[in-house]
Structure 1
Amino acid sequence: MSGRRVVITGMEVLAPGGVGVKNFWELLSGGRTATRRITFFDPSPFRSQVAAEIDFDPEMHGLRPQEVRRMDRAAQFAVVAARGAVADSGIELDSYDPFRVGVTIGSAVGATTGLDQEYRIVSDGGRLELVDHEYAVPHLYEYLVPSSFTAEVARTVGARGPSTVVSTGCTSGLDSVGHAVELIREGSVDVMIAGATDAPISPITMACFDAIKATTPRHDEPERASRPFDGTRNGFVLGEGAAVFVLEELESAAARGAHVYAEIAGYATRSNAYHMTGLRPDGAEMAEAIRVALDEARMPGDQIDYINAHGSGTKQNDRHETAAFKRSLGDHAYRTPVSSIKSMVGHSLGAIGAIEIAASALAMENNTVPPTANLHTPDPECDLDYVPLEARDQLTDAVLTVGSGFGGFQSAMVLARPDRRVA
Structure 2
Amino acid sequence: MISPIPADKALVVIRGRGRVSALGFNPMPVDAAVSPFTTHATGVPVAAAPLVTEAALAELRRSTPAFRQLDRTVLLALLAARQAATHAGWRALHNQPLIPNQQQSADNLAVSIGSSRGATGRLEEFHAEFLAEGAVSAVASPLTTLGNVASWVAFDAGSTGGTALSHSSTCSSAFQALGNATAWLRAGMATRFLAGGAEAPLTSFTLAQMQAIGIYSPLAAAAWPCRPGAGRPSTFVLGEGAAVFALEKVSRADLATEPPTRPVFLLEGVGFGFEAIGSKTGLSPEGQHFQQAIRQVLGQAGVSPAEVDAVVLHSPGTPAGDAAERAALHAVFGEHLPPLLSNKWLLGHTLGASAALSLDFALHILETQQWPAVPFATDLAVPTLQPIRRILVNAAGFGGNAASALVSVLNK
Counterpart-to-counterpart distance in 1, 2:10 and 2:33: 37
Q: TM-score, normalised by structure 2?
A: 0.87
What does residue 396 of structure 1 align with? 388
Residues 321 and 370 (structure 1 numbering): CA distance in 2 closer, same or farther, change over 3 Å? farther
| 1:32-181 paired onto structure 2 within 5 Å | 33-38=35-40, 42-44=41-43, 49-55=44-50, 56-57=54-55, 58-60=57-59, 64=63, 66-91=65-90, 93-95=99-101, 96-123=104-131, 128=132, 131-133=134-136, 136=137, 139-159=139-159, 160-181=161-182
Instruction: Compute the RMSD of aligned alpha carbons.
Output: 2.2
| 1:191-230 paired onto structure 2 within 5 Å | 191-219=192-220, 221-230=221-230
Contact preservation (8 Å) 1:368, 1:394: no
Contact preservation (8 Å) 1:35, 1:237: no
Partner AA of 2:352 in structure 1 = G
Q: TM-score, normalised by structure 1?
A: 0.85
Q: SS state of the match for residue 53, structure 1?
A: coil
- Residue 253 of structure 1 and its aligned partner are, at CA, apart by 6.0
1:342 aligned onto 2:360: no
Contact preservation (8 Å) 2:311, 2:339: yes
Contact preservation (8 Å) 1:227, 1:374: no
Partner AA of 2:380 in structure 1 = Y
Counterpart-to-counterpart distance in 2, 1:203 and 1:15: 19
What does residue 298 of structure 1 align with? 302
Counterpart-to-counterpart distance in 2, 1:396 and 1:63: 42
Residues 65 and 131 (structure 1 numbering): CA distance in 2 closer, same or farther, change over 3 Å? farther
- 1:15 pairs, out of 21, 31, 36, with 21
- Residue 393 of structure 1 and its aligned partner are, at CA, apart by 4.9
- Residue 31 of structure 1 and its aligned partner are, at CA, apart by 6.4
Counterpart-to-counterpart distance in 1, 2:387 and 2:33: 19
- Residue 11 of structure 1 and its aligned partner are, at CA, apart by 0.6
- Residue 63 of structure 1 and its aligned partner are, at CA, apart by 5.3
Deviation sequence 1:202-229 (CA, Å, 0-9, x none): 011012112211222333x544211111
Deviation sequence 1:26-54 (CA, Å, 0-9, x none): 45x9365321211xxx304xxxx111000
Q: SS state of the match for residue 355, structure 2?
A: helix
Residues 212 and 242 (structure 1 numbering): CA distance in 2 closer, same or farther, change over 3 Å? same
- Residue 264 of structure 1 and its aligned partner are, at CA, apart by 0.7
Partner AA of 1:73 in structure 2 = R
Residues 245 and 320 (structure 1 numbering): CA distance in 2 closer, same or farther, change over 3 Å? same
Residues 174 and 345 (structure 1 numbering): CA distance in 2 closer, same or farther, change over 3 Å? same
- Residue 97 of structure 1 and its aligned partner are, at CA, apart by 4.0
Counterpart-to-counterpart distance in 2, 1:213 and 1:261: 42
Counterpart-to-counterpart distance in 2, 1:51 and 1:10: 28
What does residue 5 of structure 2 align with? none
Residues 60 and 9 (structure 1 numbering): CA distance in 2 closer, same or farther, change over 3 Å? same
Counterpart-to-counterpart distance in 2, 1:144 and 1:417: 38
Identity of aligned residues (%): 26
Counterpart-to-counterpart distance in 1, 2:339 and 2:134: 53
Deviation sequence 1:53-101 (CA, Å, 0-9, x none): 0022213458515244121101001111111111111135423244422
